[in-house]
C-alpha cells in the first residue's frame, strides 16, 4: 500500500506524540471524508510490558484510539480545522472480534458519516489480514 503521509507528516495534522502517536502511516486520505492508515504492532510497543507479559495482546481501547487518531487525520486535514484537536465525544457499537498481537499489521479505516458544527461521527473498522479485529462508531468533538 502506498504511503500518503508518514509519521512526521501525521504530526503536522494531529497533536499526538510518542509514546501515544498510535498510527504509523496514512495510506489513503479523502480530506474530511475517509482515511486508511496502518499501525505495525511491535513486540516493544509500550503496552506489552503490562498487558500481558506472558500473553501479549493489544488492548481493545488502544485499538479504538488508533481508529480515532486515523479519523482525526481526516477531520483535522480540513482547512477550517487546522491546528485544532479532536476529542472523544462518544464510542458506540464497539465490537472486538480477534486478538491483535506482536507482528500483526492493523489496517485502520474510518469513514466520516456525519459532521455538524464541531462534531463529527466516523465509522471505524480495524482489520488484520482482511479479518475484522475491531469495529465501532466514534463521535469526535473538534476543539
State the catalytic residue, choosing from 32, 51, 78, 98. 51
C-alpha cell at 47: 503496552
Please give the C-alpha separations between residue 37 and each of 54, 106, 114, in angstroms, as whole numbers. 29, 8, 20
What is the pairing mode between strands 105-116 and 119-128? antiparallel
* Alpha helix (H) residue ranges in 5-140: 7-11, 60-76
51 annotated active-site: yes
Give which of 55, 63, 67 is closest to 102, Cα–Cα: 55
Report, as residue numbers or ranges, the catalytic residues.
51
Amino acid at each position: 500500500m502506498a504511503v500518503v503521509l508518514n509519521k512526521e507528516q501525521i504530526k503536522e495534522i494531529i497533536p499526538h506524540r510518542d509514546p501515544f502517536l498510535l498510527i504509523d502511516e496514512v495510506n489513503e486520505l479523502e480530506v474530511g471524508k475517509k482515511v486508511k492508515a496502518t499501525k505495525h504492532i511491535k513486540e516493544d510497543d509500550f503496552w506489552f510490558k503490562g498487558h500481558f507479559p506472558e500473553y501479549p495482546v493489544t488492548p481493545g481501547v488502544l485499538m479504538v484510539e488508533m481508529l480515532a487518531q486515523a479519523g482525526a487525520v481526516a477531520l483535522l486535514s480540513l482547512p477550517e480545522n487546522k491546528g485544532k484537536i479532536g476529542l472523544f465525544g462518544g464510542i458506540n457499537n464497539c465490537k472486538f472480534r480477534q486478538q491483535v498481537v506482536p507482528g500483526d499489521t492493523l489496517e485502520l479505516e474510518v469513514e466520516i458519516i456525519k459532521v455538524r458544527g464541531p462534531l463529527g461521527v466516523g465509522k471505524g473498522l480495524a482489520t488484520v489480514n482482511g479479518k475484522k479485529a475491531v469495529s465501532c462508531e466514534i463521535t469526535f468533538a473538534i476543539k
